[in-house]
Structure 1
Amino acid sequence: MAFRWLGKSEDGATVTLHRLEGCPVQTPFYATPSWLELNADIVRTGVVLDTETTGLNHVEDAIIEIGLRQFLFNRQTGEILALSKAYSSFQDPGRPIPAEITELTGITDDMVAGKNIEWPVVDALLEEASIIIAHNARFDRPFIDKKSAVSREKIWGCSIKQIDWRAQGFTSSKLELLNVYHGFFTDSHRAINDVDALLYLLSLPQADDDKSYLHELLNNAKKSQTHVIATSAPFETKDQLKGRGYSWDNTNKFWNKVINKETLQDEIKWLEETVYFGAFRGLTREIALSDNFKS
């Protein structure tokens, strides 16, 4: 699909961007309070969540801000039906915020001083959700799992990994750029702003039909995943593995990636032909849906 930029003028000479105010999700006309009550069997609750942290290491770094918002969705169509409860809070990490984090987020030591996230409130919102969504769940989930026993048992979805943005005509999956390509902007790298931007984005229709982006994410979140570990891969095949999407585990010294279980046989065939030049010598491990994106 050709590159898309929804805010571009017809002649391609200008781009118009609108500031996102609140979270104006696109909801279907039928989603009235009475319909929601009568069709409770197909209505589910989701949560979109975002964190700002002191760094990238979930073991050593700490959350300094959290934002999350519940929403109702139609489990059959993937349509967002209504917004629900929200929560946001700063968290004092107990040490100075690195200068580069303050520069990125605008969050200062004074803003977080003495502030604490109410984790029972977070847990109550997560408990009601059938799925928790983050834009890069592999980053956010380990930070949340450290603090929330509820999170550890939930299914998480990732709007980077479980939506094929390139197939939709976008060259980047960064939230800031996706926002701009869809004709709006917000104050990025603040938790609740990014939550509302992502939730609005997920409510928008895809290019080739009227299904929402959330519909694609939900379908992929239901698919079983398999962890493929290319043990004993010859050093000279590292470029092929990297190009295929494998990442190097420096602790265990192997190349690995997570794929949909339905594509496992094709993946093994590729490894046999491109990496092992013979029988597959690696390992595979099925991942429970509730374990997706865990550390």
Structure 2
Amino acid sequence: MAFRWIGKSHDGNTVTLNKLVECPVKFPEYATDTWLNTNQDIVRKGMVLDVETTGLNQTDDVVIEIGMRQFDFNKNTGEILRLGKSYSAFQDPGRPLSPEIIALTGITDADLEGQKIDWAHVDQLISETCLVIAHNAKFDRPFIDRKSKTSTERIWGCSFKQVDWNSKGFTSPKLELLNIYHGFFTDSHRALNDVDALLYLLSHTAHDTDKTYLHELTNNAKRMMTHVIASSAPFESKEHLKTRGYSWDNTNRFWSKIIFKDDVKNEVTWLEDTVYCGPFNGIQRDIALMDNFK
């Protein structure tokens, strides 16, 4: 299925991109203050969150910038009804940034000197929401969980994994490319810019369902997930496993992936037919909703 490239000219030769200014979400006409106050049974408060860090190691690296924005949404339709509180702050890591991180984020050592994130405030904002969304929650969540107890008690959603971009014709789920496909771009790789970009992206309607991307994400965030471990998989099956989306755990020496629990039966059948050529010899571990992406 070909994706709908917003901003593409009729002749297909040019694309117009608009710079994202703040978060230009269009709210449904019915979402008045009166309606919101009288329909609290279907109004939920979510949050989009992003961090910039000193590197990719979730044990040794630290957060240097956080961006977060609350929003109200209709739990039945996935429509964004109202924007809420936002917070953005720097954190001095106590050591110089690498040239790679400076180039990626545009953040310098001078920007961070003496700066501190108010983690108590972060914790309070998270406590007011029922769902925390990041574009790569498996990366962002461990950094936040280390600093916020409330984060460990919340359901996290992942727009990278819990929206089926491929079925909509998008060949890459990278946020920067999805933004471009939807006709806009942001300045630099900065936390609050990425938060507003993601929230605006999720407000768009998928042409194959006429539902917002947020609707798909929130529905999937409520589905149980299972860690499927293809232990003792034959060496010659590695290319099949890689193509299927399995990752190699070099510490525990096995291939695995996380899928929706209701897809496990079909996955086990595939493993039996393609990998084991016999009974499934792996492990299935169900994941509690609040433990997703930890």
TM-score (norm 2): 0.99
- Residue pair 1:26, 1:204 contacting (<8 A) in 2 also: no
- Residue pair 2:134, 2:158 contacting (<8 A) in 1 also: yes
Instruction: Provide the residue aligned with 2:47 in structure 1.
Output: 47
- Residue pair 2:237, 2:275 contacting (<8 A) in 1 also: yes
Q: 1:174-213 to 2 correspondence within 5 Å?
A: 174-213=174-213
Bigger Cα displacement from structure 2, 8-17 vs 83-92? 8-17
- Residue pair 1:8, 1:15 contacting (<8 A) in 2 also: yes
Secondary structure of 1:167's counterpart equals: helix
Instruction: Provide the residue aligned with 1:287 in structure 2.
Output: 287
Instruction: Provide the residue aligned with 1:37 in structure 2.
Output: 37
Instruction: State yes or no: 1:226 paired with 2:226.
Output: yes
CA distance in 2 between counterparts of 1:236 and 1:4 reads 39
Instruction: Provide the residue aligned with 1:116 in structure 2.
Output: 116
Secondary structure of 2:197's counterpart equals: helix
Instruction: Provide the residue aligned with 1:155 in structure 2.
Output: 155
Instruction: Provide the residue aligned with 1:260 in structure 2.
Output: 260
Instruction: Provide the residue aligned with 2:70 in structure 1.
Output: 70
| Offset of residue 189 of structure 1 | 1.1
- Residue pair 2:106, 2:188 contacting (<8 A) in 1 also: no
Structure 1 runs of 4+ aligned residues shifted over 3 Å read none
Bigger Cα displacement from structure 2, 201-210 vs 113-122? 201-210
Secondary structure of 2:57's counterpart equals: coil
| Offset of residue 11 of structure 1 | 1.1
For 1:162-187, what per-residue CA distance to the aligned partner results, in whole angstroms no more than 9, with x for missing partners? 00112112111111111111011111
For 1:136-161, what per-residue CA distance to the aligned partner results, in whole angstroms no more than 9, with x for missing partners? 00000011111111101110000010
Unaligned runs of 5+ in 2: none
- Residue pair 2:28, 2:81 contacting (<8 A) in 1 also: yes
Secondary structure of 1:78's counterpart equals: coil
For 1:59-96, what per-residue CA distance to the aligned partner results, in whole angstroms no more than 9, with x for missing partners? 01010000000000011111100000000000001111
Secondary structure of 1:285's counterpart equals: strand
CA distance in 1 between counterparts of 2:98 and 2:12 reads 41
Secondary structure of 1:41's counterpart equals: coil
For 1:27-59, what per-residue CA distance to the aligned partner results, in whole angstroms no more than 9, with x for missing partners? 111000010000011111000000000100110
Bigger Cα displacement from structure 2, 127-136 vs 168-177? 168-177
- Residue pair 1:3, 1:171 contacting (<8 A) in 2 also: no
- Residue pair 2:230, 2:256 contacting (<8 A) in 1 also: yes
Bigger Cα displacement from structure 2, 165-174 vs 42-51? 165-174
| Offset of residue 5 of structure 1 | 1.4
CA distance in 2 between counterparts of 1:19 and 1:115 reads 28
| Offset of residue 6 of structure 1 | 1.1
Instruction: Provide the residue aligned with 2:278 in structure 1.
Output: 278
In angstroms, what is the RMSD of aligned CA positions?
0.8
Unaligned runs of 5+ in 1: none
Secondary structure of 2:151's counterpart equals: helix
Counterpart amino acid of 1:60? D
Counterpart amino acid of 1:285? R
Q: Give aligned pairs, total.
A: 294
CA distance in 2 between counterparts of 1:233 and 1:188 reads 42
Instruction: Provide the residue aligned with 1:269 in structure 2.
Output: 269
Q: 1:129-140 to 2 correspondence within 5 Å?
A: 129-140=129-140
| Offset of residue 210 of structure 1 | 2.7
- Residue pair 1:64, 1:112 contacting (<8 A) in 2 also: yes
Counterpart amino acid of 1:178? L
Secondary structure of 2:41's counterpart equals: helix
- Residue pair 2:226, 2:259 contacting (<8 A) in 1 also: yes
CA distance in 2 between counterparts of 1:235 and 1:209 reads 40
- Residue pair 2:228, 2:257 contacting (<8 A) in 1 also: yes
CA distance in 2 between counterparts of 1:282 and 1:167 reads 28
